[in-house]
């Protein structure tokens, strides 16, 4: 097995790309894929400042590292979600990554700064934990980017993530979600631009990237996400990919090339767009209601007895 | 477990419909689903004559039976594909079904009437056998329907089949195929109308229908189709369905309701439609070329040494 670039011994085979690489040229391949995604989808201009949404997992640390390698001004932002040891450990990985490299990492804690945590929010709202978690992350990343004057928020969504979300949306032909599933969401209505620079790289590549670059990250999946639909969609696509390498790439990127505009045109045709939003009376964030969904969550969870993961696991039995 | 209709003991549970049925009301349920599909998609008028494409498998015999039960004038047509014992056995099931019920079954044999068989065509064309098989079936069913003055050709494609084809088309975002994937293809350019009355019933329901109705059918899958992509797509969707009953129904029927027209409009917009076709110089069938694809296949395979399945299996080793 020889490196496609230098013909030296390869350490990784990428079936979807029909290529093998040595460590050095695999890293170059990853940088090139990110640079291509950024250029093709006009994610960032060279002088723009970007805030990376960091979890402490392989994808968010890799995208931060890759953006820096490509010369962008990238700071990090990590949220303490209060999911027991999982959150503490993953936040520590983010801190260590930043400290060793002398990077700026902003931090907030749901419990300390906003009075709740994800397990408690899930119990109070009686919804899946991913719901309150996603809402909180979107809100806090957006606000941090605007307050810090960043041009964009970068997330570590990789090809496997995006293909799984696309599969879920296509399974229900949720045309509104299909219309919005893009690698770049332009700044709009007071929200910052959102970009996904890893859409040309999969989970396996990101894990290999971190190992080769010596980036320590939390390997465990979030304990509250176990068994969710997103993971099932990934498994289904992995089975297809194993038999037909490149299927995931084609599924997501052909969607962008051939189908996404059809859904966008349809949604734009039936809905005149959201127009300018008002501001949340409490936090000032853009919102179509008087109080934004995050501030409502803060209100609903205020005073609730904190649910630790241990108690929650017991209650489920 | 009680029958939803009569509250007597149920013999089958349909998780996707959140219902259980006794034998009698399960049959009524199947008839109702087929009647709904026919009505909603305007497949057939009450007095129209329909030719059923029969293979000897559960789906084609069930759709024939169901169309008769619903009062339609339905004859059958079976093609000897020359796939060794599989074809002989499956054709015999079709003959037995027709004979016991005093039905009209038209027959043709690829080898006897057209000088080739599917394994030989696959070897000569060096393509997957399903390619020559599908081409031959479409051509011969169409021609038989037109020559016999039938208003439509009915096929036994069930919900599992259609969902798997849809999945394959969506995986590549093949917008032309997505535009054409409908439960009814209207008569056009000299081709007869094609209808798929089983789109609201899955494989498990069709097997149960045949067992309850005492319809004997060939249980084996075609030996030449083993391991093809279509079966992999079915497996992937089955895994999703097991966790979320009703997923397949939503995937296919929401596609028809919400997305199919977007693809059709796109294709119609970029391609002015095929317009009137000419006639094949050899067989007279509608064709965009001087000689149709089926007659070309007959020409290419003429004189080729027949490939038996046994020889083919040996050659693959």
Band of the pLDDT at A317, cuts 50, 70, 90? very low
Q: Which of B171, B233, B243 sits opposite A250 (nearest CB)?
A: B171
Residues A155 and A63 sit within 8 Å (Cβ to Cβ): yes
Closest chain A C-alpha to B271 CA, distance in angstroms: 15
On whether the CB atoms of residues B255 and A173 are closer than 8 A, the answer is yes
- Chain A residues with beta carbon closer than 8 angstroms to that of B243: 229, 232
**Tokens 């696991």 belong to which residue?**
A313
Q: Are strands A19-21 and A12-14 parallel, antiparallel or unpaired?
A: antiparallel
Please spell the DSSP secondary structure of B228-257, one letter per residue: -HHHHHHHHHHHHHHHSTTHHHHHHHHIII
Burial of B204 (0-12, 13-18, 19+ CB in 10 A): middle
SS3 B9: strand
What end-to-end distance do the CA atoms of chain B give, in Å?
Answer: 49
Site from B163, B164, B165, B170 to mutate, A interface, most A CB atoms within 10 angstroms: B170
Report DSSP state, residue B305: P
B249-268 residues touching A, CB cutoff 8 A: 250-251, 254-255, 257-259, 262-263, 265-266
pLDDT tens track for A123-180: 999 998 999 999 999 999 999 999 999 999 999 999 999 999 999 999 999 999 999 9
Question: Where would I find the H helices in chain B?
Answer: 23-40, 58-69, 84-101, 110-114, 118-125, 129-147, 159-172, 175-180, 203-213, 229-243, 247-254, 260-270, 293-301, 309-316
B217/B214 Cα distance (integer angstroms): 10
Confidence check: pLDDT of A107 > 50: yes
Does position B107 have pLDDT exceeding 80, yes or no? Answer: yes
Residue B301 CB coordination number (10 Å):
21
Residue A219 has pLDDT above 60, yes or no: yes
A150: left (phi over 0), alpha (psi -120 to 50) or beta: beta
In this structure, the strands spanning A105-109 and A73-80 are parallel
User: Would you place residue B265 in the very low, low, confident or very high pLDDT band (cuts 50, 70, 90)?
Assistant: confident
Rounded (5°) CA angle B220-B225-B231:
90
Map tokens 């990789």 to a residue: A158
| Whole-number Cα distances in Å, B114 to B52, B62, B136, B301 | 21, 28, 10, 9
Using a CB-CB cut-off of 8 Å, the residues of chain A touching B237 are 236
Query: pLDDT averaged over chain A?
Result: 93
Residue B49 has pLDDT above 90, yes or no: yes
Structure tokens at B107: 């027959």
- Tell me how far apart the terminal alpha carbons of chain A are, to the nearest angstrom: 49
Among the residue ranges A169-178, A206-215, A259-268, B183-192, the one predicted with the least confidence is: A259-268
- Mutation for testing the A interface, residue in B16, B168, B170, B173 having most A CBs under 10 Å: B173
Average pLDDT over residues A251-272: 84
Q: Which of A132, A293, A52, A133 is nearest to A285 (CA)?
A: A293
> What's the mean pLDDT in B138-148?
95
Under the banding of pLDDT at 50, 70 and 90, the label for residue B100 is very high
B240 contacts chain A (CB < 8 A): yes
Interchain contact B99–A (C-beta under 8 A): no
**Is pLDDT at B113 greater than 70 in this prediction?**
yes
The yes-or-no verdict on residue A268 having pLDDT over 80 is no
- pTM for the model: 0.90
Give residue B57's pLDDT: 97
- Give the per-residue pLDDT at A228: 79
Is B275 or A187 the better-scoring residue by pLDDT?
A: A187
CA atoms within 13 A on the CB side of B24: 7
Asked whether the beta carbons of B140 and B79 are under 8 A apart, the reply is yes
Q: A272-312: per-residue pLDDT in tens? A: 445 568 999 999 999 989 999 999 999 999 989 888 766 65
What single-letter DSSP state applies at residue A192?
Answer: P
Instruction: Give the C-alpha separation, A53 to A163, whole Å.
Output: 20
Whole-number Å distance between alpha carbons of A206 and A59: 6
To the nearest whole number, what is the mean pLDDT of chain B? Answer: 93
Q: Is the pLDDT of residue B271 over 60?
A: no
DSSP one-letter code for B117:
-
Tell me the mean pLDDT in the region B295-309.
89
Nearest to B247 among A171, A259, A262 (CB): A171
Other CB atoms within 10 Å distance of the CB of residue A110: 26
Q: Which pLDDT band holds residue B312 (cuts at 50, 70, 90)?
A: low
Average pLDDT over residues A81-100: 96
Which pairing describes strands B286-287 and B278-279: parallel, antiparallel, or unpaired? antiparallel
Residue-wise pLDDT for B164-218, tens only, equals 999 999 999 999 999 999 999 999 888 999 999 999 999 999 999 999 999 999 9
- pLDDT computed for residue B309 by the predictor: 65
Q: What pLDDT digit, counting tens, does each position of B230-259 carry? A: 889 999 999 999 999 999 999 999 999 999
Q: Name the pLDDT band for B148 (thresholds 50, 70, 90).
A: very high
Mean pLDDT across B115-135: 93
Q: So what's the pLDDT on residue A314? A: 52
Residue B236 to residue A240, Cβ atoms within 8 A: yes
> What's residue B272's pLDDT?
46
């Amino acid at each position: 097995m020889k490196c496609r670039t230098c013909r030296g011994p390869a350490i990784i085979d990428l079936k979807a790309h029909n290529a093998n690489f040595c460590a050095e040229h695999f890293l170059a391949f990853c940088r090139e894929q990110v640079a291509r995604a950024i250029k093709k989808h006009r994610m960032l201009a060279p002088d723009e400042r970007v805030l990376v949404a960091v979890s402490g997992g392989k994808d968010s640390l890799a995208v931060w590292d890759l953006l820096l390698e490509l010369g962008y001004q990238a700071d990090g932002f990590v949220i303490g979600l209060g999911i027991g040891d999982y959150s503490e450990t993953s936040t520590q990985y983010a801190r260590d990554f930043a400290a060793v490299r002398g990077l700026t990492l902003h931090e907030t804690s749901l419990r300390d700064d906003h009075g709740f945590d994800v397990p408690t929010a899930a119990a109070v709202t009686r919804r899946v934990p991913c719901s309150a978690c996603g809402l909180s992350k979107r809100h806090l990343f957006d606000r941090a980017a605007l307050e810090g004057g960043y041009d964009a928020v970068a997330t570590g969504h990789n090809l496997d993530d995006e293909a799984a979300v696309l599969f879920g949306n296509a399974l229900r032909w949720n045309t509104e979600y299909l219309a919005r599933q893009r690698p770049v969401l332009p700044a709009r209505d007071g929200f910052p631009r959102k970009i996904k620079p890893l859409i040309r790289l999969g989970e396996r590549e990101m894990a290999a990237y971190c190992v080769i670059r010596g980036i320590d990250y939390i390997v465990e999946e979030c304990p509250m996400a176990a068994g969710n639909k997103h993971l099932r969609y990934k498994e289904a696509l992995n089975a297809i990919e194993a038999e037909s390498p490149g299927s995931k790439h084609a599924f997501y990127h052909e969607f962008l090339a051939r189908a996404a505009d059809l859904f966008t045109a349809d949604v734009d045709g039936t809905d005149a767009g959201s127009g300018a939003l008002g501001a949340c009376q409490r936090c000032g964030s853009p919102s179509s209601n008087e109080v934004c969904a995050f501030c409502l969550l803060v209100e609903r969870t205020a005073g609730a007895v904190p649910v630790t993961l241990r108690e929650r696991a017991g209650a489920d039995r």
